[in-house]
Structure 1
């Protein structure tokens, strides 16, 4: 007669363990789903560009990030710069240098992260 009394708590323990394992599996599925959503958000082009910009600023190349941002914002400037740098000649090299210097000056003047303001 002691056997049926011992089996009842063992069955309850087994059911409790099963429910705990189901709960644990549910939490693991939720964690995997959340990490997949975070990964998908991190792989968006805006996030990748922001991360690259942060990395450039950290390495001291913030001006390159500013140039890339201006290049994307004003594509006509990039086209003009490319056509100006395409041809040769001594006089044209001087004009190209002046154009590039002026564009750099404008970009630095327009950049919002100036330290002297």
Structure 2
């Protein structure tokens, strides 16, 4: 996994730009307008994203169309997949524990109240 990608995405405006570009390619001006920032600021953030390989820009007349590149996100997904088994194992352990609790409650005949249920006042 490339740490440059993480660094580029760590800044909130750059992360928001990526979120916008998920929907469709946009011009620098459209990005600036949607984020309510000045165009030079948008250009600066896009330069960082471009240098990190996250965004590519295409010149069309006097406009620059920005779009996401899939490769950095594929790399990110590959890196995260090495950790998925940890999450899945922990969820499996939690599921087993909850099933054991439920079985214990059923065996004892004691109704279990959840956090949203309340017991009547006596």
In terms of Rg, which structure is larger? 1
Larger RCO, structure (CA 8 Å, separation 6 or more): 2
Query: More helix per residue: 1 or 2?
Result: 1
| TM-score, structure 2 as length reference | 0.28
Bigger fraction of residues in strand: 2
